[in-house]
Amino acid sequence: MRERDLRIDFLRGMAIFIIAINHYTGLAGELDVVGAVRIYTTSHIGWSSAAEPLMFFSGYVFGIVYLGVYQKRGMGMAFLKAAHRAWQLYVIMLFTLLGLIAFAVYPFGRPEIVEFLRLGYVLDDPLMALSRFVTMTYTVTFFTILNVYIMFLLAAPWLLPFVEKRPWVALAISGGLWAAVQAFPGFNITSLEGVYEFNPFAWQFIFIIGLVLGAGRYLEVLSEKIDWRGIFALGAALFAISAWKAMKKVADFGMFGMGDWADFFATPFAEFTNLEPLRLLHFLILMTFVYALLPASRRLNEFWIARQFMRCGQQSLECYCLSIVTCVLLATVVAELNGGLLLYLVVCAVNLAIVFAASHFVAWMKSSPWATPKAAAQTGSAASPSAPDARRAA
């Protein structure tokens, strides 16, 4: 059995880290928190966000795990495993919504949060809202990515025969659907609030790209073949994109007399909902560049901070769901206390620490400590993310 590629876990963990920061700072801005400042992440220096790596690497891990199930047990077992995972996520998503309302929204009753999260329907008609939420015809802010991931889990197994024999066919089918969305931007799923902010007909493409690459372990092949010239070219492309976006910000604010250049630096084809071409291109360049720079798994695993990101990446969906509740709760607490910049930054760090701690707790629970002798359980809890119990987190 090939070793787990811990670089994938590390990058998924980084995506959760960035999403938690972006959600917290965005909510603080909605609440007009005193001292709130923008904390710059990769989402602010390029066209893509942290949602793209989360979706891509979910597809990548799916390709590694589920192609093996398909080859050993057939399509039926592969679909059954995917359906089981979708059900687990479905239940986690439901409890996350209930926790969000019970602990972060209802106790404070801040109308800004209710409006931002689109929870007014829940508070006005809880039973009807819950019924529409479970049928995914009512979406709450931060939950749409979970809805579309559930859809992808149920649909992707049917592409595995193509992925095994003719991966280009799977990419052609997926890419054709994505291209149709680019040609007809209104082609989307509608919900109570309008259309899905993550158009599943577009975002499936990045998931399937990840699935195909994961099935062939192509990122590992890439890391072995790319040389410094390729890395330099990718870095130069990223620098040019970041410089272009920076100039757009300068022009938008009319700084240095560049207000008349705003239209010139406008960036078409980078819209979020339909995963437009420049957004997808930026992510693929960024992902390839960062992956190529990372050391091999054994070397990366030597660093304590890297292991924390890996653990978070292995429990990415659970950590993401928890971060929804903690971001809303802690941003609201900071707004209520009106404590200024220092409190704002300290609470941001506390939020990240909670998510990291939760990743360890979830991994420990998945190891079934109640069925393990005490000495073995202590050894397992101290093991690195490459231990066998971590493989089940995929």
**pLDDT surpasses 70 at 383:** no
Q: What is the band of 374 on the pLDDT scale with cuts at 50, 70, 90?
A: low
The Cα angle at residue 170 between residues 166 and 176, in degrees rounded to 5: 135
Distances (CA, A) of 132 to 11, 87, 127, 153, 190: 34, 17, 9, 20, 12
The letter for the amino acid at 371 is A
Mean of pLDDT over the chain: 90
Q: What is the mean pLDDT of residues 172-185?
A: 97
Q: Give yes or no for a contact between 269 and 202, defined as CB atoms under 8 angstroms apart.
A: no
Strand bridging mode 194-195 / 190-191: antiparallel
Q: Give yes or no for a contact between 195 and 188, defined as CB atoms under 8 angstroms apart.
A: yes
Q: What is the mean pLDDT of residues 343-362?
A: 96
Nearest to 362 by CA among 389, 383, 326: 389
Q: Give yes or no for a contact between 310 and 385, defined as CB atoms under 8 angstroms apart.
A: yes
Q: What is the band of 287 on the pLDDT scale with cuts at 50, 70, 90?
A: very high
Coil, helix or strand at residue 73: helix
pLDDT digits (tens, 9 = 90+) for 19-68: 999 999 999 999 998 888 888 888 778 889 999 999 999 999 999 999 99
**pLDDT surpasses 60 at 72:** yes
**Structure tokens belonging to residue 19:** 């999403």
Q: What is the mean pLDDT of residues 12-20?
A: 96
| 142-158 residues labelled b (16+ CB within 10 A) or e (exposed) | bbbbbbbbbbbbeebbe
Q: What is the reported pLDDT for 388?
A: 43
Question: Cα(287)–Cα(11) distance, rounded to whole angstroms?
Answer: 9
- As a whole-number percent, the residues of the chain with pLDDT over 70 amount to 91
Q: What is the reported pLDDT for 378?
A: 56
Question: Cα(204)–Cα(151) distance, rounded to whole angstroms?
Answer: 9
| Neighbour tally for 185: CB within 10 Å | 14
Q: What is the band of 390 on the pLDDT scale with cuts at 50, 70, 90?
A: very low
Nearest to 104 by CA among 323, 317, 319, 359: 323
Q: What is the mean pLDDT of residues 301-313?
A: 96
Q: What is the reported pLDDT for 129?
A: 92
Q: Which of 33-42, 268-277, 292-301 has the lowest mean pLDDT?
A: 33-42
**pLDDT surpasses 70 at 351:** yes
Q: What is the band of 154 on the pLDDT scale with cuts at 50, 70, 90?
A: very high
Long-range contacts (CB closer than 8 Å, 24 or more residues apart) made by 110-115: 110/31, 110/332, 110/335, 112/30, 112/31, 113/27, 113/30, 113/31, 113/328, 113/332
Nearest to 390 by CA among 8, 43, 54: 8
**pLDDT surpasses 50 at 387:** no
Question: Cα(30)–Cα(37) distance, rounded to whole angstroms?
Answer: 12
| Neighbour tally for 240: CB within 10 Å | 10
Nearest to 181 by CA among 266, 61, 279, 59: 279
**pLDDT surpasses 50 at 169:** yes
The letter for the amino acid at 330 is L
Highest mean pLDDT among 95-109, 167-181, 260-274, 337-351: 167-181
**pLDDT surpasses 70 at 272:** yes
**pLDDT surpasses 60 at 379:** no
Helix (H) or strand (E) holding 59: helix 51-73
Question: Cα(42)–Cα(53) distance, rounded to whole angstroms?
Answer: 11
Which residue did the predictor score with more confidence, 2 or 5?
Answer: 5
